[in-house]
Structure 1
Amino acid sequence: MRRTVSAAALVMIGVLVSGCGGDSGSGGDSGAKAQSADKPDSAEKPKWGPPETHEVTLKVQGTGSSQIGWAAGSSEFDSATLPWKKTAKVTLEGAELKKGVQLYVTPQAVKGTSGTFVFPPCAIEVDGKTVDKNAGGKSSHGCKYTLKGS
């Protein structure tokens, strides 16, 4: 029994030493293979094209004050006096050129002239062109648009 346990222990030690050993800088190529597996060569990188920068303008019309959630490169939440306008530069790079970046403006309801709450009108412009608008009213989901590369 003792001989069997000793033999099994020696076999396990041999397997562990030979099988789990790594390259410790002794000039072997296993470290080079691991690095090349982590970093694909330039032939495998997707070609998305050069970055594109667009001017995005978000607008909310109306009177009074409203909480406004918006995104144009980054997401924000503001308390604002209406009318409200925000202009930002949005740069698309890499996969964003194909997949796009979400732009949105979502105002909360304000008290209308009849005393009821209504959603104010909103609009999104990209490079001076209106890409989405909402007339507001009793039901509003704001304005949204996915900005993609050209």
Structure 2
Amino acid sequence: MARFRAEIAPSSRPSLLIDPQPGLPIAEVNAPYEAVCGLDRKALIGQPLFLLFPDNPDDPIADGVSHLYASLKKAAESGRPHAMEVQRYDVRDGDGRFVERYWRPLNTPLTDGFGRVVFLLHQVDEVTDEVLGGKGAG
């Protein structure tokens, strides 16, 4: 874990380490990820990914959870990074309301010395302004 923590901590790209066990608990997070999601490390570590980041219940066609899950699964099974198309994935603001956001995610399996997937590295670039033509969201 220390090796992976040391690799993502200095990155300016929002990065999240996910344990591939059932529930996909969050194992580590860097400061840029804390900033884009509005939660601090203590609130994230150990929590199931989709419990903290569910689909927006007010959007009947929200598909962020299913698309992200499929990408993580593909990366884990193939052993190769999986770059997702730009994805709408709304996040909660400080008041708990969902705000429209767009992301360009990359999911990469991280392996131990035996080639077993021990973590999934989820990295995102927020592209909301790009998608909404500079109007921003929220």
Give the TM-score normalised by structure 1.
Answer: 0.24
Question: More helix per residue: 1 or 2?
Answer: 2
Question: More strand per residue: 1 or 2?
Answer: 1
